[in-house]
Amino acid sequence: MTDPNQPGNRLRVAIGGDHAGFPLKQVVSQQLAAEPFATLVGDIIDCGTDSTARCDYPDFAVAVSREIILGNADRGIVVCGSGVGVSVAANKIPGIRAAICHDTYSAHQGVEHDDMNVLCIGGRIIGSELALEIVRAFLGAHYTPGERHQRRLDKVMEIEAQGRDALGL
């Protein structure tokens, strides 16, 4: 498995989206294979959809997450209309840390501080140029496991491990 936190390693990226995210997913997929992304991205795994025909966003959040959990991808990108649905769905999967990001700061900071491994974006919310800047920030970032970041991430992982028991009810 590629270590996405080592500078210079080319990432394996899984990408997917529903019908509302399809047009933006296509633009991002095509750009991932071209410069300047080629220095960041090795393999691209297309997890669908392949058209604007109506389909269900959770299916693509699961498909992208599966590639990460199986070790076939280092990072994932999922696109739906708003980005919210795929974020909610992906975060239900243990081992996935997904966030909706519509700005470059959140995209790189989510990786650097929170070890985010799935970027969620809204195809009906942002344009392709901004989306590409956000993807570049996400893919170019590296987790910085300083004491405070690691302590907080460990707490998040503990919540995930405990599930509902973390509520103390």
Tell me the catalytic residues.
80, 113
Query: In 97-131, which positions are buried (b, 16+ CB within 10 angstroms) versus exposed (e)?
Result: bbbbbbebebbbbbbbbebbbbbbbbbebbeeeeb
Whole-angstrom Cα distance, residue 72 to residue 14?
8
Residue 126 in contact with residue 101, Cβ under 8 Å? no
Residue 112 in contact with residue 143, Cβ under 8 Å? yes
Q: For residue 128, give both structure tokens.
A: 């392709």
Whole-angstrom Cα distance, residue 20 to residue 96?
22
